[in-house]
Amino acid sequence: MEIVHPKTITEALAGLTEGVTPLAGGTDLMVEVNFGHAHPERVIGLRRLEELAHWEGDRIGAGVTWRRIERDGPTALAEAARTVGSPQIRNAGTIGGNLGTASPAGDGHPFLAAVDASIELVSLAGTRALRWDEFFTGVKKTARRDDELISAVRLPQELPERQAFGKIGFRNAMVIAAVNCVVTRTAGGRTTVALGSVAPTPIRARQAEAMISTISKPTSSDLGEFQRLVSEEVRPITDHRSTEEYRRHGAGVLARRLLERCLR
Amino acid sequence: MIVGFTVNDEPVSVRVSHPGSLLDVLRDDLGLLGSKSACQQGECGSCSVILDGELVCSCLVMAADMEGSTVTSIEGVGAEGALHPVQEALHSAGAIQCGFCTPGFVVASVDLFERDPHPSPTEIREALAGNICRCTGYGAILRALEGLASGVDG
């Protein structure tokens, strides 16, 4: 096998041809290798590519680790980062790698969906930014072309004042989400609800958002209706991690609790 | 290909012909058997090492990606007759059952205490969330480290 360690993103792109595997933190790829499901013969090592780990304002470089996001990220993204794997995983795993894998359960995804973030893709042909819902195309599938690298996440300049992340899993740590969720709310009441692990890609609960955004001081019956709409809008499946019914119920309860946290 | 890096302050170079892990190289090529090979997927923490200053699972590091890097494994922690304070604390508290997870717990704890000599009980638990003890001997481990954090001998 061979591996190259480019010093710049441009150098990395020159080497990114068909059959070449980009390697960032390794926390997903190496599991595939260890279990014999992947045999990358030509690898581009991105772990120490400083240009990719650059974070300035609302542009978070793809090589930024969860550890840094846990420390310095916006509220709900930092809360999500704190639940990614374990300290060992957070020191290695990156936000770009999370997006490259595009697991339906990715803990970083609901925040990006909740604030309508874009994912920046770069190739020798140029740079494009896809909104999150154009980027995620299916279970572990994205719109990234083979000749593109995920270079950064772009957040909007203004983020909602109130934001909260929550996750349902079967341990407090080192757990893949059965449901994860971010709720945001502005001072004016505009609310967004994004959920993961309840559909092939992260989704927004648009009906629940529209309903609760018009109400400045929701009553407990409003909250009950909000919860019901969220449960209705998700499209979960039953798998080894949870059942459809549990996820549907959990999604509504979790979104409601996070909304209550935003209203406090 | 030949990959050169530093292990416990010693320069090494190893021949790498497949995309295997740093853990396999430590154990099979360098004979450093302290880092344990168990889950192979970053779940158990028994292969924890410090890579370029960060605590990671060596099973999830591609050996071919190690060129120019620096790693501290359990063999680089403490010395004969001069245990690291974390090792002293665990030893005097008897915080060991079968011992398989111990190297990983020691490396993760050393990483924690070198960043913060006085972590709170919650910080200790969070720092060790990636290390699993299948004997479930967590109580003694936590008591030992809480004692070390508060400056009281375990």
| Predicted local confidence at residue B154, as pLDDT | 43
Over the stretch A25-40, which tens digit does the pLDDT of each residue have? 999 999 999 999 999 9
pLDDT band at B1; cut points 50, 70, 90: very high
Residues A212 and A127 occupy one common structural domain: no
Which of A88, A170, A176 to mutate to test binding with chain B, by most B CBs within 10 Å of its CB? Answer: A88
Residues B60 and B13 occupy one common structural domain: yes
Residues A11 and A137 occupy one common structural domain: yes
Over the stretch B26-53, which tens digit does the pLDDT of each residue have? 999 999 999 999 999 999 999 999 999 9
Q: Does B74 touch chain A (CB under 8 A)?
A: no
Going by DSSP bridges, is the β-strand pair A59-61/A55-56 parallel, antiparallel, or unpaired? antiparallel
Q: Is B60 close to A31, i.e. CB distance below 8 A?
A: yes
Which of B40, B62, B112 to mutate to test binding with chain A, by most A CBs within 10 Å of its CB? Answer: B62
Instruction: Write the DSSP assignment of chain B as a string of letters.
Output: -EEEEEETTEEEEEE--SS-BHHHIIIIIS---SS--S-SSSSS-TTEEEETTEEEEGGGSBGGGGTT-EEE-GGGSSBTTB--HHHHHHHHTT--SS-SSHHHHHHHHHHHHHH-SS--HHHHHHHTTT---TT--HHHHHHHHHHHHTT---
Nearest to B59 among A34, A38, A67 (CB): A34
pLDDT band at B151; cut points 50, 70, 90: confident
Q: Does B7 touch chain A (CB under 8 A)?
A: no
Residues A72 and A203 occupy one common structural domain: no
Could you tell me if residue B33 is inside a domain?
A: yes
pLDDT band at B152; cut points 50, 70, 90: low
Residues A35 and A11 occupy one common structural domain: yes
Alpha-carbon distance B14 to nearest alpha carbon in chain A (angstroms): 14
Q: Is B65 close to A23, i.e. CB distance below 8 A?
A: yes
- Number of folded domains in chain A? 2
Residues A122 and A184 occupy one common structural domain: no
A vs B, Cβ pairs < 8 A, gives 102
Q: Does A34 touch chain B (CB under 8 A)?
A: yes
| Predicted local confidence at residue A18, as pLDDT | 87
Residues B63 and B91 occupy one common structural domain: no
Domain ends where: B43, B76, B109? B76
| Predicted local confidence at residue A211, as pLDDT | 98
Residues B71 and B89 occupy one common structural domain: no
pTM: 0.96
Q: Does A30 touch chain B (CB under 8 A)?
A: yes
| Parent domain of A146 | 2-102+118-154
| Predicted local confidence at residue A174, as pLDDT | 87
d(CA A72, CA A70): 6
Nearest to B130 among A1, A30, A174 (CB): A174
Residues A179 and A230 occupy one common structural domain: yes
Residues A122 and A53 occupy one common structural domain: yes
Residues A142 and A58 occupy one common structural domain: yes
Alpha-carbon distance A135 to nearest alpha carbon in chain B (angstroms): 27
Mean pLDDT of B51-66: 98
Over the stretch B62-78, which tens digit does the pLDDT of each residue have? 999 999 999 999 999 99
Could you tell me if residue A108 is inside a domain?
A: no
Sign of CA dihedral A23, A26, A27, A29: positive
Mean pLDDT of B85-101: 96
Chain B residue with minimal CA distance to A40?
B19
Q: Is A2 close to B127, i.e. CB distance below 8 A?
A: no
Round the average pLDDT of chain B to a whole number and report it: 96
pLDDT by 10-residue block (mean), chain A, 264 residues: 96 93 97 97 96 97 98 98 97 98 97 98 97 98 96 98 96 91 97 97 98 97 98 95 96 98 96
CA dihedral B88, B90, B92, B94 (to 10 degrees): -150
| Parent domain of B17 | 2-76
- Number of folded domains in chain B? 2
Residues A33 and A131 occupy one common structural domain: yes
Alpha-carbon distance B7 to nearest alpha carbon in chain A (angstroms): 18
Mean pLDDT of B107-135: 97
Q: Is B65 close to A45, i.e. CB distance below 8 A?
A: yes
| Predicted local confidence at residue A190, as pLDDT | 98
Could you tell me if residue A134 is inside a domain?
A: yes
Could you tell me if residue A111 is inside a domain?
A: no
Residues B90 and B72 occupy one common structural domain: no
The amino acid occupying position B34 is: G
Residues B14 and B67 occupy one common structural domain: yes
